[in-house]
């Protein structure tokens, strides 16, 4: 019965004071699943232990976060306090004035040796796409996983093998959006990586990328959520899948699935925090962000998930997995062994061409 | 009060009866209205107004005018057919607008808005924001062109000129795979960009297929239910009503379990030797999966109205036809079926209406080829942030549904709608 | 539709073929729902029958997915949210819908059809359009991501069902009864609760059940209007199917089938009671 009353009270309170969230609650938006869990353990739990007045509430909106943020800022009633976004979304949010600009050296903690934050974060990551709103946490990559029991003899080892249905027959899973897929198609078709975006700016380049994707189109299952490709691999629904490297790590090392990673032309990306404009708890958010992005915390996150911390000073502190005791360094997308060939997304180019290529990509899919 | 002398009938207080009755009628009308009013107000505020508010985004074009207010006014004097570029005053207005918007950090909005019409505008405005911040005086035109030569290109200016009004047709055009050319004529999108007409066509085509399948499956079952003794038909009715009352997510889940490559049906067929282990059928994440799952979900909406119509057809009708010499087939086709037309109409329109707006099932089992227009509305609201386009697509879909709703009202009458 | 004794062999053959066709359609309707019940007791995290299950080996079966459902906090929160939202939404739509039905069924009601068409629209407008409309507007008035917002949204979606069922009950309603009560000295409130209400109660309750199930099953609107604190069972199922598909979803689905059986039974009992009360012979 107590629950009934507390719930009634809650409904009433929400009705009366909608929007005016209690001061001690911080609404943090992230991706859910293993990723939010790693943030919970590395950032939220120690922060809440040190600051008993603060309660961090996780909202997993994933790629819907930007739309929600825009709707809230437009309405003037911002309930979200801190959002975890990819760099591409952060650029849009910053361009449209939906998030607060940050001053790295006053907001963020210096490295233990005194190097200011603006020098300690990887070069260019704080000003990604020429913006000044993004606080990077991790470098992650979208790369390929394959089932180790699917092929007799030679195993896939390069991007070319993903497009090679003869040598490696079976279903593939790719992300249902043009980003990365278009670039990979051109690289696999022999276009040098440095010319990819110049090529994609022309109709012929786009047609060439689709022609390459056409060669595997019938065999592709398109995923939309990061949790899908490891699941599809584990269930045997596909034999090769593009996936976030952290999800693959979890499937391989934690769940012991017969999966291995191909790092060839892994697509690097950044993920980090943005602070919504007009949020009600700016001071508390700043305090939290300073803690959650310091050298130790970023290194700690790598104990739970195989994403590379975005600070130079954290790299040396990356150690073993918190539960399994596996050395995490070889699983990092940033390790020299894994990053021989890397696709780096041109955010500014994509900002210009996203809408157009989305249309073309969807039209191509529908055919 | 003087005693009335005319022969008008009056009530006790002397009011003419006619007026009194009229007053009573008005009062009872008001009472009836008063009962409806709370719901009406509720539906208006929390349902209809939000939809109208959202649909307005399909023509709302205030971004350019609000972010670049001076330019939007100054550019009205420019005649693109007479001068290649607007004059210095417009450039000055632009520089001031960009400087202010750069400071307010709203410049990206106009860049994104115009980028829908012309790829590249997004980076043009971003670049110009940083550049214009350093401009302190004339010549504005040369300095802007020095920042980016696209400011010297009349197509950029024609676009701003066109989109500086408060309303736009651009989203509706885009929703129909059309666009305005540089000179303002309506032209088709280049072939690789055409997508929405295909989607509308697919949505209608698949909904039609689903409706026909529902009718084909629903008609015999309804006939059976209507002609069996009540005791048995009531029991069998449970088989129709249970799915009707079961969560559509439960039913979609069930179809995933049945149809997936490693699912029940494939397993059975492999076990029975009909398929090889490598030859498992792809029955889900495509059109087939969507159609099967949706027919299952919508079938009760066909059976229930058919059944209620068939129930009213007296069995003697068929017997009479037989006794007059018709074969069973003729009797059924010429006598029975015409009597069920109302039920067929009601069921078909209901299923079709529900089907063209479906979102959940296509989202879960539609894959590449089985998604509907609703899924794209959700995509543009939730992910690509092109809310104007989402609203335009929504308005077109809603228009379609309302047209069907009117037909339904003609055939069945909304006040005769029955449930379960 | 018994087979007449004079039926020809062809007619007999068709008669039985027809019954087989109907049986197949019934299996199509009900089979998928019952397939998930045994699957939900799978020991392994698959959506299909394992060899152990088929050989009825007890080791192939397990109740662990049910345990997971009953112990995992996020599922328990979802159950709670679903119930709170559905109950309050049902209350609102039942009260507003019943009042409106009483008004609309009066012969003096002006513009009856127009009002009816307007008030039934929440049932007709595609959910994605309703949901996106609410997404923006509820954010504007500050009730998005609150229980209140989701409750109001679901209440709006549920009202047409109450309106339709209560209007249908009132169609068989003898409008002289309240007048009789009035002439016998009952005031309007007494008349409503002592005469009208008992007679239309079955319609009100079945409308309320429809409104309840509408909210309880609804996922599109809650995905758009709600946030993680309003996460309901359908929301959990939807994201579960899209992301990590586990047999817990099948366990939940099985439980939901039980809920629908319960609702269906209630509804049937109500229908019978209603017919008895209004003196309609079971037809």
Contact residues, chain A, for C139 at CB < 8 Å: 71-72, 74-75, 77
Does A348 contact B at CB distance below 8 Å?
A: yes
Interface test with A, best of B101, B117, B122, B259 (most A CBs within 10 A): B122
Neighbouring chains to C with at least 3 Cβ pairs closer than 8 Å: A, B
Q: Which residue of B has its CA nearest to A207?
A: B192
- Please write the tens of the pLDDT for every residue from B56-95: 999 999 999 999 999 999 999 899 888 899 999 999 999 9
pLDDT in tens, A314-324: 988 888 888 88
Q: What is the distance in angstroms between the Cα of A363 and the nearest Cα belonging to chain C?
A: 22
* pLDDT (tens digit per residue) in B173-211: 999 999 999 888 999 999 999 999 999 999 999 999 999
The verdict on a CB contact (< 8 Å) between A237 and B116 is no
Check CB contact of C260 with chain B, cutoff 8 Å: yes
Kindly list the residues from chain B whose CB atom is less than 8 angstroms away from the CB atom of residue A206.
Answer: 192
The pLDDT tens digits for A50-62 are: 999 899 988 888 8
A11 vs C contacts (CB less than 8 Å): 84, 88, 147-148, 151
CA distance A241 to C230: 33
> Do you find a cis peptide bond into B348, omega within 30 degrees of 0?
no
d(CA C12, CA A326): 73
CB-CB contact of B373 with B397 (8 Å): yes
Q: What is the fold of B196-416? A: MetI-like fold (1.10.3720)
**Is the pLDDT score of C239 beyond 70?**
yes
| Token reading at C65 | 């997915």
Nearest chain C residue (CA) to A5: C84
* Cα distance between residue B111 and residue B120, in whole Å: 9
**Entry pTM:** 0.91
Q: Residue C84: helix, strand or coil by DSSP?
A: helix
- pLDDT tens, position by position, A64-75: 899 999 999 988
The whole-angstrom separation of Cα A130 and Cα C135 is: 31
Give the per-residue pLDDT at C281: 47
Q: Show residues of chain B in contact with A221, CB under 8 Å.
A: 285, 367
Q: Bigger pLDDT: B206 or C281?
A: B206
The 8-class DSSP code of residue B151 comes to: G
Closest CA to A359 of B76, B39, C76, B192: B192
Closest by alpha carbon to A280, among A41, A79, A13, A17?
A: A79
Contact C126 B32 (CB under 8 A): no
Task: Report the C-alpha gap between B84 and B76 in whole angstroms.
Answer: 14
SS3 A240: strand
Q: What is the pLDDT of residue A1?
A: 44
Quote the CA–CA distance of C270 and B163 in Å, as a whole number. Answer: 60
Task: Quote the CA–CA distance of A193 and A162 in Å, as a whole number.
Answer: 17
Q: Between chain A and chain C, how many beta carbons pairs sit less than 8 Å apart? A: 61
Contacts of A104 (CB under 8 A, 6+ apart): A116, A117, A118, A121, A126, A135
Please, which pLDDT band fits residue A20 given cuts at 50, 70 and 90?
very low
Decide if pLDDT at A287 tops 80. yes
pLDDT at C282: 41
Binning pLDDT at 50, 70 and 90, where does residue B5 land?
Answer: low
Element (H, E) at A139: strand A135-147
Domains of chain C: which residue ranges?
Answer: 9-60, 74-245
Sorted by where each starts, the structural domains of chain A and their CATH numbers stand as 2-139+270-331 (3.40.190.10), 142-268+341-366 (3.40.190.10)
Q: What pLDDT shows up at residue C228?
A: 84
The verdict on A13 touching C (C-beta cutoff 8 Å) is no
Nearest to B194 among A101, A352, A363 (CB): A363
Q: Which of A15, A80, A250, A251 to mutate to test the interface with C (most CBs of C within 10 A)?
A: A15
Q: C142–A71: do the CB atoms touch at under 8 Å?
A: no
Provide the pLDDT confidence category of residue A13 given band limits of 50, 70 and 90: low
Q: Is the ipTM of this complex over 0.85?
A: yes
Separation in Å, CA B383 to CA A66, A201, B138, B377: 7, 23, 42, 10
Q: Does residue A185 register a pLDDT over 60?
A: yes
Per-chain mean pLDDT for chain C = 88
| Helix B49-56 and helix B387-411, axial crossing angle in degrees, nearest 10 | 130
Burial state string for A63-75 with b = 16 or more CB within 10 A and e = fewer than 16 = bbbbbbbbbbbeb
- Min Cα distance C75 → chain B (Å) is 16
Return the CATH architecture of domain C74-245.
Orthogonal Bundle (1.10)
Average the pLDDT over C149-166 and give the result. 95
What pLDDT score does A248 carry? 93
What was the pLDDT predicted at C278?
64
Predicted confidence at residue A8, as pLDDT, reads 54
Q: What is the mean pLDDT of residues C48-70?
A: 87
Distance from the Cα of B354 to chain C's closest Cα (Å) equals: 7
Smallest CA–CA distance from C152 into chain A, residue: A15
Mutation for B interface: C133, C226, C249, most B CBs within 10 A:
C133
Judging contacts by C-beta atoms under 8 Å, the chain C residues touching residue A77 are 139-140, 142
Q: Which of C:186-245 have CB within 8 Å of B? A: 206, 210, 213, 216-217, 219-220, 224, 234, 237-238, 241-242, 245
Spell out which residues of chain C touch residue B42, defining contact as CB-CB under 8 Å.
Answer: 92, 96, 155-156, 159
pLDDT in tens, B318-353: 888 888 888 888 888 888 999 898 889 989 999 999
- Rounded CA separation C108/A270 (Å): 67
Residues of chain B contacting residue C53, judged by C-beta atoms under 8 Å apart: none
Q: Does C282 touch chain B (CB under 8 A)?
A: yes
Chain B nearest-CA distance from C79, in A, is 14
Contact C106/B at CB under 8 A: yes
- CB contacts, 8 Å: C120 with chain B: 414, 417
* B245 CA: distance to closest CA in chain A (Å): 27
**Percent of chain A beyond pLDDT 70?**
94
pLDDT at C279: 62
Using pLDDT thresholds of 50, 70 and 90, give the confidence band for residue B3: low
Q: What is the mean pLDDT of residues B35-62?
A: 96
The confidence score (pLDDT) of residue C283 equals: 39
Domain boundaries, chain B: 1-45, 63-165, 196-416
- Which residues does B235 contact at the CB level (< 8 Å), separation at least 6? none
The DSSP secondary-structure symbol of B331 reads I
Q: Kindly tell me if the per-residue pLDDT of B415 is higher than 80.
A: no
- Nearest Cα of chain B lies from the Cα of A46 at a distance, in angstroms, of 33
Q: Which pair of structure tokens corresponds to residue B125?
A: 């405005």
CA end-to-end distance (rounded Å), chain B: 61
Candidates B108, B119, B386; nearest CB to A352: B119
Mean pLDDT of C76-81: 95
Q: Give the model confidence (pLDDT) of B207-246 as tens digits.
A: 999 999 999 999 999 999 998 998 898 889 989 999 988 9
pLDDT of C267 higher than 90: no
**Please, which chains are in contact with B (at least 3 CB pairs closer than 8 A)?**
A, C
Is C25 an interface residue toward B (CB < 8 Å)? yes
Nearest to B266 by CA among B286, B251, B281: B281
Tell me the per-residue pLDDT of A145-172, one tens digit each, with 9 for 90 and over. 999 999 988 999 999 999 999 999 999 9
Min Cα–Cα distance to chain A from C283, Å: 42
- Indicate the length of chain C as a whole number: 283
What integer pLDDT is reported at residue B416 of this predicted model? 65
| Residue B212 tokens, joined | 């026909």
Q: How far is C162 from chain B (nearest CA, A)?
A: 10
| A contact test, residue of C243, C244, C248 with most A CBs within 10 A | C243
User: Does the CB of A59 have a partner CB in chain C at under 8 Å?
Assistant: yes
Q: What residues are paired with C122 via a beta bridge? A: none
Residue range B141-145: average pLDDT? 93
Is residue A28 within 8 Å of A59, Cβ to Cβ? yes
What tokens were used for A21?
């969230």
How many angstroms away from the CA of A117 is the closest CA of chain C? 33
In angstroms, the separation between the Cα of residue A103 and the nearest Cα of chain C is: 30
What is the interface size between B and C, counted as CB pairs within 8 Å? 280
Instruction: Give the pLDDT confidence of B270-310 residue by residue, as tens digits.
Output: 989 898 887 888 888 889 999 999 999 999 999 998 998 99
H or E stretch covering A344: strand A342-344
CB-CB under 8 Å, C228 with A60: yes
Per-residue model confidence (pLDDT) at position A332: 92
Show residues of chain A in contact with B122, CB under 8 Å: 95, 351-352
Please report the pLDDT score of residue A17 as a whole number: 46
Give me the pLDDT at residue A134, please: 96
Task: Give Cα separations from B208 to A299, B138, B201, B306, B353 (angstroms).
Answer: 56, 63, 10, 18, 10
Nearest CA in chain A to C223: A61
Chain C, 114 to 133: residues with Cβ < 8 Å from chain B are 115-122, 124-130, 132-133
Identify all chain B residues contacting A94, using CB atoms and an 8 Å cutoff: 105, 108
Interface with C, mutate which of A227, A254, A255 (most C CBs under 10 A) = A227
Torsion of CA A220, A226, A231, A236, to 10 degrees: 20
């Amino acid at each position: 019965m107590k629950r009934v009353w507390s719930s009634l009270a809650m409904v009433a309170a929400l009705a009366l004071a909608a929007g005016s969230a209690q001061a001690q609650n911080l609404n943090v938006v992230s991706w859910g699943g293993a990723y939010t869990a790693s943030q919970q353990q590395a950032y939220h739990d120690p922060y809440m232990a040190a600051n008993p007045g603060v309660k961090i509430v996780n909202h997993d909106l994933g790629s819907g976060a930007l739309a929600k943020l825009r709707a809230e800022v437009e309405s003037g009633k911002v309930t979200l306090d801190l959002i975890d976004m990819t760099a591409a979304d952060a650029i849009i949010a910053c361009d449209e004035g939906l998030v607060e600009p940050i001053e790295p050296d006053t907001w963020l903690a210096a490295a233990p040796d005194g190097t200011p934050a603006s020098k300690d974060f990887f070069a260019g990551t704080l000003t990604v796409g020429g913006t000044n709103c993004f606080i990077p946490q991790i470098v992650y990559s979208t790369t390929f996983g394959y089932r180790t029991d699917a092929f007799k003899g030679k195993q896939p080892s390069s991007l070319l093998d993903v497009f090679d249905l003869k040598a490696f027959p079976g279903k593939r899973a790719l992300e249902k959006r043009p980003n990365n897929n278009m670039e990979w198609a051109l690289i696999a078709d022999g276009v040098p990586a440095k010319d990819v975006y110049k090529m994609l700016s022309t109709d012929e380049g786009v047609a060439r990328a689709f022609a390459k994707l056409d060669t595997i189109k019938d065999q592709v299952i398109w995923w939309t959520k990061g949790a899908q490709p490891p699941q599809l691999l584990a269930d045997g629904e596909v034999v090769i899948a593009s996936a976030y490297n952290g999800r693959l790590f979890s499937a391989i090392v934690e769940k012991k699935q017969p999966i291995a990673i191909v790092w060839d032309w892994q697509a690097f990306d950044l993920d980090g925090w943005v602070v919504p404009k007009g949020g009600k708890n700016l001071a508390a958010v700043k305090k939290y962000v300073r803690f959650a992005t310091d050298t130790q915390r970023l290194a700690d996150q790598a104990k739970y998930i195989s994403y590379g911390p975005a600070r130079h000073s954290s790299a040396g502190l990356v150690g073993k997995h918190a539960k399994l005791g596996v050395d995490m360094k070889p699983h990092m997308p940033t390790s020299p062994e894994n990053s021989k060939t890397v696709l780096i997304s041109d955010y500014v180019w994509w900002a210009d061409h996203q809408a157009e290529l989305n249309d073309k990509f969807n039209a191509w899919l529908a055919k | 009060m003087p005693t009335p002398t005319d022969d008008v009938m009056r009530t006790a207080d002397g009011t003419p009866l006619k007026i009194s009755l009229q007053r009573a009628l008005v009062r009872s009308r008001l009472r009836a209205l008063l009962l409806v009013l709370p719901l009406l107000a509720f539906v208006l505020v929390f349902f209809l107004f939000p939809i109208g508010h959202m649909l307005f985004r399909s023509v709302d074009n205030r971004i350019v005018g609000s972010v670049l207010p001076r330019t939007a006014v100054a550019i009205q004097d420019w005649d693109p057919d007479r001068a290649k570029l607007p004059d210095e005053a417009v450039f000055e207005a632009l520089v001031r607008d960009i400087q202010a918007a750069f400071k307010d950090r709203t410049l990206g909005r106009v860049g994104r808005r115009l980028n829908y019409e012309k790829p590249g505008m997004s980076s043009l405005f971003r670049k110009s924001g940083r550049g214009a911040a350093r401009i302190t005086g004339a010549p504005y035109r040369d300095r802007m062109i020095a920042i980016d030569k696209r400011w010297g290109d009349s197509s950029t200016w024609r676009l701003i000129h066109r989109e500086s009004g408060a309303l736009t047709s651009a989203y509706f055009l885009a929703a129909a795979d059309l666009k305005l050319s540089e000179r303002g004529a309506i032209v088709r999108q280049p072939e690789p960009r055409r997508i929405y007409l295909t989607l509308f066509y697919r949505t209608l085509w698949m909904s039609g297929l689903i409706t026909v399948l529902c009718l084909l499956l629903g008609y015999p079952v309804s006939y059976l239910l209507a002609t069996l003794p009540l005791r048995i038909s009531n029991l069998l009715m449970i088989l129709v009503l249970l799915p009707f009352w079961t969560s559509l997510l439960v039913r979609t889940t069930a179809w995933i379990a049945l149809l997936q490559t490693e699912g029940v049906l494939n397993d059975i067929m492999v076990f029975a030797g009909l398929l090889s282990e490598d030859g498992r059928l792809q029955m889900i994440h495509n059109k087939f999966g969507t159609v099967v799952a949706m027919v299952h979900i919508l079938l009760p909406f066909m059976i229930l109205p058919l059944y209620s119509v068939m129930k009213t057809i007296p069995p003697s009708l068929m017997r009479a036809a037989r006794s007059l010499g018709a074969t069973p087939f003729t009797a059924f086709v010429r006598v029975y079926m015409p009597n069920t037309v109302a039920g067929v109409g009601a069921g078909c329109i209901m299923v079709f209406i529900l089907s063209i707006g479906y979102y959940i099932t296509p989202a879960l089992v539609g894959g590449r080829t089985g998604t509907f227009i609703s899924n794209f509305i959700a995509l543009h609201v939730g992910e690509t942030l092109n809310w104007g386009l989402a609203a335009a697509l929504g308005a077109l879909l809603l228009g379609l549904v309302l047209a069907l709703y009117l037909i339904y009202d003609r055939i069945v009458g909304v006040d005769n709608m029955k449930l379960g | 539709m018994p087979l007449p004794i004079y039926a020809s062999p062809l007619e007999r053959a068709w008669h039985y073929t027809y019954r087989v066709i109907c049986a197949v359609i019934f299996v199509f309707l009900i089979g998928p729902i019952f397939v998930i019940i045994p699957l939900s007791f799978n020991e392994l995290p698959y959506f299909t029958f394992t060899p152990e299950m088929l050989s009825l080996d007890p080791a192939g079966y397990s109740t662990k997915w049910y345990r997971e459902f009953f112990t995992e906090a996020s599922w328990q929160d979802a159950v709670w949210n679903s119930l709170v939202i559905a109950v309050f939404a049902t209350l609102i739509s039942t009260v507003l819908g019943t009042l409106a039905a009483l008004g609309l069924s009066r012969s003096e009601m002006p513009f009856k059809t127009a009002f009816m068409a307007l008030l039934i629209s929440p049932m007709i407008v595609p959910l994605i359009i309703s949901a996106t409309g609410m997404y923006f507007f509820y954010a504007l008035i500050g009730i998005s991501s609150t229980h209140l917002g989701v409750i109001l949204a679901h209440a709006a979606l549920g009202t047409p069902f109450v309106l339709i069922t209560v209007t249908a009950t009132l169609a068989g309603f003898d409008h002289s009864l309240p007048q009789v009560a009035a002439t016998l000295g009952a005031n309007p409130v007494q008349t409503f609760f002592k005469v009208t209400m008992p007679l239309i109660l079955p319609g009100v309750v079945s409308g309320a059940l429809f409104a309840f199930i509408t909210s309880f099953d609804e996922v599109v609107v809650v995905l758009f209007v709600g946030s993680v604190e309003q996460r309901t069972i359908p929301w959990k199922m939807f994201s579960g199917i899209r992301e990590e598909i586990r047999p817990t979803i099948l366990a939940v689905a099985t439980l939901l089938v039980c809920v629908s059986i319960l609702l269906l039974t209630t509804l049937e009992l109500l229908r019978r009671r209603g017919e008895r009360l209004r003196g309609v012979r079971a037809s």
